[in-house]
Amino acid sequence: MKKINIIGLGYIGLPTALMFAASGVPVHGTDCNKKLVDKLKAGQLTFKEEGLDELFDCALREKIEFSTDYIETDVYIITVPTPYDKASKRIDSSYVLGALNSVFKVTPKGAIVCIESTVSPGTIDKHVRPFIESKGYTIGEDIHLVHAPERILPGSMVYELKHNSRTIGADDPIVGEKIKQLYESFCEGEIVLTDIRTAEMTKVVENTFRDINIAFANELAKICRADNMDVYEIIRIASKHPRVNILQPGPGVGGHCISVDPWFLVGDYPGLTKLILSARQVNDSMPDFVLERIHDIMKAEGLTDVSRVGLYGLAYKENVDDTRESPTLQMLESMQKHLACGAKIYDPFVKKDIVENQYHDFDKFLKDIDMLVIMVAHDEIKGQLEKIKGKVVLDTKNICAFEGVHKL
């Protein structure tokens, strides 16, 4: 088997590359970040993830190499970022097109280009196909296009790569079948073949559904706070109905999927996405809602010094170091706009200083604060709840059961 060239070795590309290699598929991993590549070549991972160390060791023993170069081969898998313009809510396809441009310098005729990066519905028709044709290629002869959107969650990447179902969209079913067989080297979930446009839409719809469900829970939290009701008890009881499954409210929605993908639909279908837009607005409002709760609690508890407030958690979810679209970062930005922000911040997974007043020792962090705001439910704090007794606590994740704790 020829090597597959995986382009982009970030949160999606690296685990995917390692999984292919560990399953016996020869892999050449490419990234434009030389420091990242050098670190991987030295046998060092670039981010933490459960099970990734073992997978990395296995891949290194098998068939993987890393470089900033692209190779001539039959299959290219593109996993570069796809940010969106926050003003227009439309996807920025420049990373994908840039990767394609580099691939075309080495690609042989008849190669398959598989885009794993999440894109808005229609992106491949509107941006990718015209770009390929502008380079003089005939799609379906010189280049075969496939879209196989990733479906993994930080914190469970290795498990989900292996067990989640996948969608593969292709112009040519025969080409789609080839890519399906490639992913079957490690994927134990069902792999569904379809067309490219459907594959694009399916991935965005999955994350949009979850965003709307979270928004419903967050709006319930606001309603219950306005009338002094326990939102967690209401959700617990309501979810006993066999056809009701309400998610938990929280301080906001982060990450590069749920907080971003719905905007693709809003940007492309502005007149048809009122519910989706409302859900996004509710979830985006939650960091400010938490900030209001902090102000109210400080006033009620007789606290006046913001520098004695501590925010626990910088990551966007528990037990990962991923801070993309983090609700804590969103709230800090809001605090800087409205008051002199002096709050202290701690996250056991975020080892580098990325904000002011960031701590790296939990006990020292607790010693220097009077009020603790739990923004992320890392296992670390769940196992040390006794340490926070005596502090004024705002628990946005509903992990504290003792008396006197403030909730959303």
| Mean pLDDT (the chain, rounded) | 93
Q: What is the mean pLDDT of residues 371-385?
A: 96
User: How would residue 340 be classed by pLDDT, with cut points 50, 70 and 90?
Assistant: low
**Residues 110-127 pLDDT 10s:** 999 999 998 888 999 999
Residue 217, both tokens: 């829970």
Cβ(40)–Cβ(63) below 8 Å = no
∠ CA(267), CA(271), CA(276), 5° rounding?
65
Higher pLDDT, 89 or 388: 388
| Percent of the chain scoring above 70 in pLDDT | 99
Domains of the chain: 4-204 (3.40.50.720), 227-407 (3.40.50.720)
| Residue-level pLDDT at 92 | 85
Q: Provide the Cα torsion 103, 154, 396, 266; round to 10°.
A: 40
Q: What is the mean pLDDT of residues 383-406?
A: 94
H or E segment at 371?
strand 371-374
| Residue-level pLDDT at 238 | 97
324, burial (CB in 10 Å: exposed 0-12, middle 13-18, buried 19+):
middle
Residue 361, both tokens: 């020792």
Q: What is the mean pLDDT of residues 169-195?
A: 96
Q: How far apart are CA 53 and CA 43, in angstroms?
A: 10
Residue 247, both tokens: 């998610």
Q: State yes or no: pLDDT of 282 exceeds 70.
A: yes
Q: How far apart are CA 261 and CA 254, in angstroms?
A: 11
| Residue-level pLDDT at 110 | 95
| Residue-level pLDDT at 339 | 56
Q: How far apart are CA 311 and CA 251, in angstroms?
A: 12
* Residue of 9, 11, 30 whose CA lies nearest to 323: 11
Higher pLDDT, 408 or 86: 408
Question: CA of 319: how far to CAs of 91, 186, 380, 382, in Å?
Answer: 29, 25, 8, 11
Three-state secondary-structure class, residue 312: strand
Which positions are catalytic? Answer: 203, 257
Residue 407, both tokens: 């909730």
**Residues 253-270 pLDDT 10s:** 998 788 888 988 888 888
| Residue-level pLDDT at 338 | 63
Q: At which residue do the structure tokens 């593969």 appear? A: 168
Cβ(27)–Cβ(4) below 8 Å = yes
Question: CA of 322: how far to CAs of 8, 80, 316, 376, 392, in Å?
Answer: 17, 16, 6, 12, 27
Q: How far apart are CA 305 and CA 302, in angstroms?
A: 10
| Residue-level pLDDT at 256 | 78
| Residue-level pLDDT at 206 | 92
